[in-house]
Structure 1
Amino acid sequence: MNKRKSIPYIALLIAFLFWLYITPEDEVIIQPEHHPSYIADDVLSNHYDLVGFNDYRVFADKMTSYPDSDVTLFESPKVLVYIKDKNTDAVTIWQLTSKKGALNEKNKLSLSEKVLIKNLTEDQLVQTMATEQATVMLDSKEITSQLQVLWTGPQMQQQGVGMWASMITEEMTLNSNIEAVYLNETK
């Protein structure tokens, strides 16, 4: 190959090397160590048990999921828990609301700020439970709190510090500083 034919190839090679030298490298976006995998607004999530019964539903204004730590955060969550009686097939519905919520390990729901737990089917002595913090085990349907709790029903009002309640067996206990008012009114 003579000099005249090789000049365009050499010029092209020089231009290519010059272009590589002046082209800025793409910036690599470095995510913070603990970043969410997704953020969603106006969320509705359904959970079903092994036989297809709708165990619970979660509604929230905003949901942020952190899979590396197995935590999902909620803003203004509303959770509907469905309890099916195995003998009668009757369904009791509980509604849990708060300002903030966190779901850990797929079963432990921590609610905080203005927590209100309400029996929507109105078939129990305790119709509402109010506190500032509660933990709900969604698999065993148990509710606990270490703070001041107020229970109300059609003919009673109780308050105390700390509680445990089972939505399945309908058992409930207050731990300490219990005050109760019972009304003898008939419905």
Structure 2
Amino acid sequence: MNKKNLICFLLLIVVIGVYYNYQKGDDVVSKSTQNISDKPNYQSDEMLTNIYDLSGELIYKIESSNIRHFDDSDNTEFDLPNFTFYDQVHLAAWHIKAKKAILTSDKLLYLYHDVQLDNLTKEAQLKQVKTDNAVIDLTSQLVTSKDPVIVNGVGFYSTGIGLAGDLHAKTANILENVKTYYNTEAK
């Protein structure tokens, strides 16, 4: 082999080596991009957020031990969330807690494990709703659940399966297997 052919051969090997190395780099980038979508874009511990309407009035307050937001799904996850909802006259109306919650881009709040809704209005007949999982539409403030439900009120409590509630109207309807127990004694 002459010197010219040897240089061309070595140059060809270098070009092939660079090409394969470049291809491996693309694989690493695509694999790291896939892993990034599983990770939150931002997260925070011990978070407190106030949400206001366009006129500057408080609509609800969120407290959470940990929050994670994912840009790819536009979902926000909460650990040990506490939500306080305010009514039309800007008074605290409901306190809602769960072990976990997910807020979606279409303003649906999915609550998981030991969900409890406490009515903060003193004169209300409906005082508390407990279930394992629930969904709240933050726009309409309608609450639904397919799980067993316990509703506590002034002088009664009811149990059953499924829930259709309205936080604005301060109502909760159990959908199936309803059993209501009345207590004539004041609590």
Q: TM-score, normalised by structure 2?
A: 0.78
Tell me how far 1:68 sits from its aligned partner.
Answer: 1.1
Deviations 1:71-128 (A, max 9, x none): 10010000000012xxxx3734200001111001151110111111101233311111
CA–CA distance in 1 between the matches of 2:90 and 2:52? Answer: 17
- Larger deviation, residues 66-75 vs 91-100: 91-100
Q: C-alpha displacement at 1:182, in angstroms?
A: 1.5
Q: Any gaps of 5 or more consecutive residues in structure 2?
A: 1-27
Higher-Rg member (1/2): 1
> Secondary structure of 1:122's partner?
coil
What is aligned with 2:54?
50
Aligned to 2:77: 73
Structure 2 Cα separation of the partners of residues 162 and 183 of structure 1? 23
Runs of 4+ in 1 over 3 A off after TM superposition: none
Higher helix fraction (1 or 2): 2
Aligned residues: 160
Could you give the per-residue CA deviations for residues 20-59 of structure 1, whole angstroms, max 9, x where no partner exists? xxxxxxx979241332111110011111112111000110
Which runs of structure 2 are paired with 1:126-137 in the superposition (5 Å)?
Answer: 126-137=126-137
In the other structure, the counterpart of 1:91 is: 91
> What code does the residue aligned with 2:43 have?
I
Aligned-residue CA RMSD in angstroms? 2.2
Q: What is the TM-score when the length of structure 1 is the normalising length?
A: 0.78
Equivalent position SS for 1:30: helix
> 1:160 maps to what in 2?
160
- Aligned mates of 1:132, 1:122 — CA distance in 2: 25
Superposition map of 1:1-187 within 5 A: 30-31=32-33, 32=35, 33-84=37-88, 89=89, 91-105=91-105, 107-186=107-186
